[in-house]
Amino acid sequence: MRNHVNHYKCPLCDMTCPLPSSLRNHMRFRHSEDRPFKCDCCDYSCKNLIDLRKHLDTHSKEPAYKCDFQNCSFTARSLSSIKSHYRKVHEGDSEPRYKCHVCDKCFTRGNNLTVHLRKKHQFKWPSGHPRFRYKEHEDGYMRLQLVRYESMELTQQLLRQPQEESDLGAALNESSLQGIILESVPGESGSQEEAEEEEEGGVSEEMSLSASQDTPSSVIHMVNQTNAQGAREIVYYVLAETPGEPPPDPEPPLGGIVEKLQGIAEEPEAQML
Protein backbone atom coordinates (compact mmCIF):
# COMPACT_ATOMS: atom_id res chain seq x y z
CA MET A 1 0.00 0.00 0.00
CA ARG A 2 2.70 2.37 0.90
CA ASN A 3 4.92 0.98 -1.71
CA HIS A 4 3.77 1.65 -5.24
CA VAL A 5 6.52 0.00 -7.14
CA ASN A 6 5.17 -2.00 -10.01
CA HIS A 7 4.33 -5.39 -8.60
CA TYR A 8 3.77 -7.42 -11.72
CA LYS A 9 7.01 -8.57 -13.17
CA CYS A 10 7.35 -10.17 -16.54
CA PRO A 11 8.80 -13.64 -16.12
CA LEU A 12 10.64 -13.33 -19.41
CA CYS A 13 12.42 -10.01 -18.99
CA ASP A 14 13.02 -7.23 -16.51
CA MET A 15 9.91 -5.27 -17.35
CA THR A 16 7.47 -4.70 -14.56
CA CYS A 17 3.96 -3.39 -14.85
CA PRO A 18 1.54 -1.70 -12.49
CA LEU A 19 -1.41 -3.86 -13.48
CA PRO A 20 -2.05 -7.42 -14.63
CA SER A 21 -3.66 -6.06 -17.76
CA SER A 22 -0.63 -4.04 -18.70
CA LEU A 23 1.57 -7.02 -18.04
CA ARG A 24 -0.63 -9.13 -20.31
CA ASN A 25 -0.31 -6.45 -22.94
CA HIS A 26 3.42 -6.43 -22.57
CA MET A 27 3.55 -10.20 -22.84
CA ARG A 28 1.52 -10.15 -25.98
CA PHE A 29 3.50 -7.53 -27.82
CA ARG A 30 6.87 -8.36 -26.49
CA HIS A 31 6.96 -12.08 -26.07
CA SER A 32 4.18 -13.57 -28.11
CA GLU A 33 4.73 -14.77 -31.64
CA ASP A 34 1.04 -14.64 -32.35
CA ARG A 35 0.36 -12.53 -35.42
CA PRO A 36 -3.31 -12.81 -36.20
CA PHE A 37 -3.35 -9.99 -38.73
CA LYS A 38 -2.06 -11.15 -42.06
CA CYS A 39 -1.57 -9.34 -45.34
CA ASP A 40 -3.28 -10.79 -48.39
CA CYS A 41 -0.70 -9.46 -50.76
CA CYS A 42 2.43 -10.72 -49.09
CA ASP A 43 3.47 -12.81 -46.16
CA TYR A 44 3.51 -9.91 -43.74
CA SER A 45 1.69 -10.39 -40.50
CA CYS A 46 1.45 -8.37 -37.31
CA LYS A 47 -0.16 -8.22 -33.92
CA ASN A 48 -2.76 -5.53 -34.39
CA LEU A 49 -5.05 -4.04 -36.99
CA ILE A 50 -3.47 -0.61 -37.05
CA ASP A 51 -0.13 -1.99 -37.99
CA LEU A 52 -1.74 -4.04 -40.71
CA ARG A 53 -3.39 -0.95 -42.12
CA LYS A 54 -0.10 0.88 -42.13
CA HIS A 55 1.39 -2.00 -43.99
CA LEU A 56 -1.39 -2.12 -46.55
CA ASP A 57 -0.66 1.48 -47.43
CA THR A 58 2.73 0.42 -48.62
CA HIS A 59 1.14 -1.81 -51.22
CA SER A 60 -0.81 0.93 -52.92
CA LYS A 61 0.75 2.10 -56.14
CA GLU A 62 -0.19 5.71 -55.58
CA PRO A 63 0.81 7.44 -52.37
CA ALA A 64 -2.12 7.19 -50.02
CA TYR A 65 -1.49 10.50 -48.30
CA LYS A 66 -1.20 13.99 -49.64
CA CYS A 67 -0.43 17.30 -48.07
CA ASP A 68 -3.39 19.49 -47.18
CA PHE A 69 -1.59 22.74 -47.53
CA GLN A 70 -3.00 25.05 -50.21
CA ASN A 71 -1.50 24.00 -53.49
CA CYS A 72 1.14 21.74 -52.08
CA SER A 73 1.52 18.65 -54.20
CA PHE A 74 3.55 16.68 -51.75
CA THR A 75 2.44 13.09 -51.35
CA ALA A 76 3.71 10.20 -49.30
CA ARG A 77 2.89 6.64 -48.48
CA SER A 78 2.78 7.11 -44.78
CA LEU A 79 1.01 9.53 -42.52
CA SER A 80 4.12 10.19 -40.55
CA SER A 81 5.93 11.33 -43.66
CA ILE A 82 3.15 13.77 -44.39
CA LYS A 83 3.23 15.13 -40.89
CA SER A 84 6.95 15.62 -40.82
CA HIS A 85 6.77 17.26 -44.22
CA TYR A 86 4.08 19.63 -43.03
CA ARG A 87 5.98 20.58 -39.95
CA LYS A 88 9.17 21.15 -41.80
CA VAL A 89 7.94 22.88 -44.96
CA HIS A 90 4.77 24.66 -43.95
CA GLU A 91 5.54 25.45 -40.36
CA GLY A 92 9.19 26.21 -40.77
CA ASP A 93 9.93 23.83 -37.97
CA SER A 94 13.25 22.54 -39.10
CA GLU A 95 15.49 23.35 -36.16
CA PRO A 96 17.02 20.35 -34.50
CA ARG A 97 15.10 19.63 -31.35
CA TYR A 98 16.88 16.57 -30.05
CA LYS A 99 19.92 17.39 -27.99
CA CYS A 100 22.56 15.03 -26.68
CA HIS A 101 22.79 15.59 -22.95
CA VAL A 102 26.40 14.51 -22.96
CA CYS A 103 27.97 16.69 -25.64
CA ASP A 104 25.08 19.05 -26.47
CA LYS A 105 25.08 18.09 -30.12
CA CYS A 106 21.69 18.59 -31.72
CA PHE A 107 19.74 16.36 -34.03
CA THR A 108 16.65 16.70 -36.09
CA ARG A 109 15.28 13.31 -35.24
CA GLY A 110 15.25 11.14 -32.19
CA ASN A 111 16.52 8.04 -33.86
CA ASN A 112 19.54 9.87 -35.18
CA LEU A 113 20.31 10.99 -31.67
CA THR A 114 19.91 7.39 -30.61
CA VAL A 115 22.51 6.34 -33.12
CA HIS A 116 24.77 9.07 -31.82
CA LEU A 117 24.29 8.04 -28.20
CA ARG A 118 25.05 4.44 -28.97
CA LYS A 119 28.01 4.97 -31.23
CA LYS A 120 29.62 7.97 -29.62
CA HIS A 121 28.79 7.46 -25.99
CA GLN A 122 28.25 3.70 -25.86
CA PHE A 123 24.77 3.93 -24.46
CA LYS A 124 22.72 0.80 -24.21
CA TRP A 125 19.21 0.25 -23.09
CA PRO A 126 18.41 -2.25 -20.36
CA SER A 127 16.67 -5.51 -21.01
CA GLY A 128 12.93 -5.17 -21.13
CA HIS A 129 13.21 -1.61 -22.44
CA PRO A 130 13.64 -1.92 -26.17
CA ARG A 131 14.31 1.71 -26.87
CA PHE A 132 15.29 5.08 -25.52
CA ARG A 133 12.77 7.64 -24.54
CA TYR A 134 13.18 11.32 -24.98
CA LYS A 135 11.62 13.98 -22.87
CA GLU A 136 11.02 17.61 -23.69
CA HIS A 137 12.77 19.95 -21.33
CA GLU A 138 11.81 23.46 -20.42
CA ASP A 139 14.19 24.87 -22.99
CA GLY A 140 12.31 23.03 -25.70
CA TYR A 141 14.95 20.43 -26.37
CA MET A 142 14.31 16.75 -26.30
CA ARG A 143 16.83 14.90 -24.22
CA LEU A 144 17.28 11.31 -23.20
CA GLN A 145 14.94 10.38 -20.42
CA LEU A 146 16.52 8.27 -17.78
CA VAL A 147 14.94 4.89 -17.95
CA ARG A 148 13.03 3.82 -14.93
CA TYR A 149 13.98 0.46 -13.66
CA GLU A 150 11.23 -0.94 -11.58
CA SER A 151 12.23 -4.13 -9.92
CA MET A 152 11.09 -4.82 -6.40
CA GLU A 153 14.13 -6.91 -5.65
CA LEU A 154 16.48 -4.24 -6.86
CA THR A 155 14.59 -1.63 -4.95
CA GLN A 156 14.77 -3.54 -1.73
CA GLN A 157 18.41 -4.23 -2.16
CA LEU A 158 19.07 -0.60 -2.72
CA LEU A 159 17.15 0.28 0.38
CA ARG A 160 19.13 -2.19 2.41
CA GLN A 161 22.51 -1.16 1.10
CA PRO A 162 22.36 2.56 0.59
CA GLN A 163 26.01 2.92 1.45
CA GLU A 164 27.26 1.23 -1.64
CA GLU A 165 25.89 3.77 -4.00
CA SER A 166 29.14 5.32 -5.00
CA ASP A 167 30.85 2.02 -5.49
CA LEU A 168 27.87 0.84 -7.37
CA GLY A 169 28.04 3.68 -9.79
CA ALA A 170 31.71 3.20 -10.35
CA ALA A 171 31.21 -0.43 -11.06
CA LEU A 172 28.60 0.21 -13.66
CA ASN A 173 29.69 0.55 -17.20
CA GLU A 174 30.03 3.94 -18.72
CA SER A 175 27.08 5.92 -19.79
CA SER A 176 24.50 3.68 -18.31
CA LEU A 177 21.80 5.58 -16.56
CA GLN A 178 19.14 3.93 -14.54
CA GLY A 179 16.24 5.39 -12.73
CA ILE A 180 14.71 3.40 -9.96
CA ILE A 181 11.26 3.97 -8.64
CA LEU A 182 11.34 3.40 -4.96
CA GLU A 183 7.96 4.49 -3.78
CA SER A 184 5.18 6.88 -4.41
CA VAL A 185 4.56 10.01 -2.45
CA PRO A 186 1.28 9.81 -0.59
CA GLY A 187 0.69 13.47 0.01
CA GLU A 188 0.91 16.29 -2.45
CA SER A 189 3.60 18.84 -2.23
CA GLY A 190 3.79 22.20 -3.90
CA SER A 191 5.34 21.81 -7.30
CA GLN A 192 5.07 18.91 -9.62
CA GLU A 193 7.01 18.33 -12.77
CA GLU A 194 10.29 16.64 -12.65
CA ALA A 195 13.47 18.60 -12.44
CA GLU A 196 16.29 17.25 -14.51
CA GLU A 197 19.83 17.58 -13.55
CA GLU A 198 21.93 20.65 -14.18
CA GLU A 199 20.84 23.15 -16.82
CA GLU A 200 19.71 26.59 -15.85
CA GLY A 201 17.45 27.50 -12.99
CA GLY A 202 13.99 26.23 -12.48
CA VAL A 203 15.29 23.23 -10.67
CA SER A 204 12.90 22.55 -7.88
CA GLU A 205 12.93 19.64 -5.55
CA GLU A 206 15.90 17.64 -6.49
CA MET A 207 18.35 16.47 -3.95
CA SER A 208 21.56 14.72 -4.39
CA LEU A 209 22.03 11.60 -2.37
CA SER A 210 25.64 11.11 -3.08
CA ALA A 211 27.32 11.49 0.25
CA SER A 212 30.21 13.28 -1.32
CA GLN A 213 30.21 14.39 -4.91
CA ASP A 214 33.91 14.24 -5.31
CA THR A 215 33.29 11.42 -7.68
CA PRO A 216 31.63 12.86 -10.75
CA SER A 217 31.42 9.45 -12.33
CA SER A 218 28.81 8.31 -9.87
CA VAL A 219 25.89 10.47 -8.94
CA ILE A 220 22.60 9.42 -7.52
CA HIS A 221 19.74 11.82 -7.58
CA MET A 222 16.40 11.57 -5.96
CA VAL A 223 13.68 13.23 -7.92
CA ASN A 224 10.19 13.87 -6.73
CA GLN A 225 7.95 13.68 -9.72
CA THR A 226 4.56 12.84 -11.08
CA ASN A 227 4.27 9.80 -13.24
CA ALA A 228 2.07 9.16 -16.23
CA GLN A 229 -0.83 8.15 -14.05
CA GLY A 230 -0.57 11.37 -12.14
CA ALA A 231 0.69 9.63 -9.04
CA ARG A 232 3.50 11.01 -7.03
CA GLU A 233 6.63 8.99 -6.94
CA ILE A 234 10.24 9.22 -5.98
CA VAL A 235 12.68 8.23 -8.64
CA TYR A 236 16.26 7.49 -7.84
CA TYR A 237 18.59 8.16 -10.70
CA VAL A 238 21.78 6.22 -10.77
CA LEU A 239 24.06 7.96 -13.14
CA ALA A 240 27.23 6.23 -14.14
CA GLU A 241 29.41 7.78 -16.74
CA THR A 242 33.01 6.96 -17.39
CA PRO A 243 33.85 8.65 -20.66
CA GLY A 244 37.52 7.83 -20.53
CA GLU A 245 37.91 4.23 -19.62
CA PRO A 246 35.48 1.39 -19.33
CA PRO A 247 36.08 -0.86 -16.36
CA PRO A 248 37.83 -3.87 -17.78
CA ASP A 249 37.49 -6.11 -14.75
CA PRO A 250 35.10 -8.92 -15.58
CA GLU A 251 34.03 -9.47 -12.00
CA PRO A 252 33.78 -6.49 -9.71
CA PRO A 253 34.33 -6.98 -6.00
CA LEU A 254 30.84 -5.88 -5.15
CA GLY A 255 27.90 -8.15 -4.76
CA GLY A 256 24.16 -7.76 -4.58
CA ILE A 257 23.09 -4.69 -6.45
CA VAL A 258 25.99 -4.71 -8.75
CA GLU A 259 25.27 -8.14 -10.05
CA LYS A 260 21.73 -7.12 -10.52
CA LEU A 261 22.57 -3.98 -12.37
CA GLN A 262 25.20 -5.52 -14.52
CA GLY A 263 22.57 -7.50 -16.24
CA ILE A 264 21.25 -4.16 -17.34
CA ALA A 265 24.35 -2.32 -18.29
CA GLU A 266 26.06 -4.99 -20.21
CA GLU A 267 29.54 -4.99 -21.54
CA PRO A 268 30.11 -2.59 -24.38
CA GLU A 269 31.22 -4.16 -27.56
CA ALA A 270 34.81 -3.32 -26.76
CA GLN A 271 35.62 -3.31 -30.40
CA MET A 272 34.70 0.27 -31.00
CA LEU A 273 37.03 2.50 -32.95
* Residue 25 lies near DNA (rule: CB under 7 A): yes
21 binds DNA (CB under 7 A): no
What is the Cα–Cα distance from 61 to 65, expressed in whole angstroms? 12
**Contact flag: residue 228 with DNA (CB under 7 A):** yes
The residue type at 129: H
Using alpha carbons only, give the angle 26, 28, 33 rounded to the nearest 5 degrees. 135
- Residue (246 or 252) nearer to DNA, CB: 246
Q: How far apart are CA 213 and CA 219, in angstroms?
A: 7
Query: Where in 32-132 does DSSP place strands (E)?
Result: 37-38, 45-46, 65-66, 75-76, 98-99, 106-107
Which of 101, 116 has the CB closer to DNA? 116
In contact, 237 and 247? CB cutoff 8 Å: no
Among 4, 99, 101, 116, interactor with DNA by CB under 7 A: 116
**Member of 99, 107, 177, 240 binding DNA (CB under 7 A):** 107
Task: Specify the residue, 22 or 210, whose C-beta has the smaller distance to DNA.
Answer: 22
Question: Cα separation of 20 and 23, whole Å?
Answer: 5
Which ranges of the chain would DSSP assign to H, the alpha helix?
A: 20-26, 49-57, 79-85, 110-121, 152-160, 165-171, 257-262
Give 272's Cβ-side CA count (13 Å radius): 12
Using CB under 7 A as the binding rule, the residues of this chain from 86 to 105 that contact DNA are 88, 94, 96, 105
Shortest Å distance, C-beta 189 to DNA = 24
Q: Which of 8, 76, 170, 246 touches DNA by CB under 7 A? A: 76
- Total residues binding DNA (CB under 7 A): 47
Q: Which residues bind DNA (CB under 7 A)?
A: 22, 25-26, 29-30, 44, 46-48, 50-51, 54-55, 57-58, 76-78, 80-81, 83-85, 88, 94, 96, 105-112, 114-116, 119-120, 125, 130-134, 142, 228
